[in-house]
Amino acid sequence: MAPQKLAAVVVPVTLLALLGAVAGQIRLSVGYYKYRCPKAETIVREAVKSAIDSNRGTGAGLIRLFFHDCFVQGCDASVLLNTTGSSEPTERASAPNLSLRGFEVIDAAKAALEAACPGVVSCADIVAFAGRDATFFLSGNNAVDFDMPAGRYDGRVSLDSEALANLPPPFASLEKLKEMFAAKGLDTEDMVTLSGAHTVGRSRCSSFSDRLPPHVSDMNATLSGTLASQCNGGDTTVPQDSVTPDGLDSQYYRNVLNHEVLFASDAALLASNQTADMVSANAFTPGLWETKFKAAMVKMGRVGIKSSADGEIRDKCWMVKVN
């Protein structure tokens, strides 16, 4: 390209980047590591595949890990930190995060990435790629396949108290769910769509025991009886989607309509005509939820992202960089 033409392209791109930074909108891009670390996305995908090949549940854990990362301090891998030097425990110590799984997959991917291109790939991007890849491998025929923009930096703050304050509890009402998602720039449709991730994975009985007998709830009596005997007063884990427990699909929405979901927050999607209509559309329009889920995962991946100005690329995902 002629130098004048190159300048004409480079200047606006630089200007746009600057304007974006000034406006607080950090731009992520698809293929961000293409030249910086060409094998980055392949390395993460291989780590996720090998984990899911030995236990599909780890895939569910990785999808949830991405959500729990993005909702607290933004998608900055703060959920991975064991230590920051602060006297307050990190997010990992918080009640909702005690059942997170998949940390070892992120650590394995990071180790391989540091060997391939040291200091280049952020843990925040690894979490986002891993969430995307788990979605891919758990979906039937790997149909839920999408690009995940990258360029996130890792945060240095991780506080136990912030996890509880920002992550919706399983007993949340519809109003509370809408409010907590809106606080992250996600609308009601995003909330309904992302809740569909409960089509995979497991839950501890303690997360829904308030919906089992002798408590009164709208849960289908056959399911609540089965769950009561599976839980047997203890805190074992059960599949979230009792119909197609292992596959990432739209069955969750048919379960919502049939009152066959675990949490009050799942059942709450029927509490307004607006959300109930979304549930029905996702339940009965082939491919609709999958298309919406891909877009909603990308949108969630933009929540509160950090740049080189307020973030770093960690050496190890569980500890902040020692400067």
* Positions marked catalytic: 68
User: Token pair for residue 89?
Assistant: 């425990």
Residue 67 neighbours by CB distance under 10 Å: 21
Taking CB under 6 A as the criterion, the residue among 28, 44, 52, 67 binding ligand HEM is 67
Q: 102 or 312: whose CB is closer to ligand HEM?
A: 102
* x-marked contacts with ligand HEM along 241-280 as a string, rule CB under 6 A: ----------------------x-x---------------
Which segments of 48-167 are extended strands (E)? none
- Binder of ligand HEM out of 74, 151, 155, 168 (CB under 6 A): 168
How many residues appear in the chain? 323
Q: Is 194 helix (H, G, I), strand (E, B) or coil?
A: helix
Single out the segment in contact with ligand HEM by CB under 6 A; choices: 25-33, 62-70, 78-86, 120-128: 62-70
| Nearer to ligand HEM (CB atom), residue 151 or residue 168 | 168
Q: Taking CB under 6 A as the rule, which mask of x and - marks residues 191-230 in contact with ligand HEM?
A: x--xx-xx-xxxxx--x-----------------------
User: What is the CB neighbour count within 10 angstroms for residue 289?
Assistant: 26
Q: Does 64 bind ligand HEM (CB under 6 A)?
A: yes
Residue 167: closest CA among 149, 183, 146: 183
CB of 62 to ligand HEM, least distance (A): 8
Contact residues toward ligand HEM (CB under 6 A) are: 57, 60-61, 63-64, 67, 99, 101, 168-170, 172, 177, 191, 194-195, 197-198, 200-204, 207, 240, 263, 265
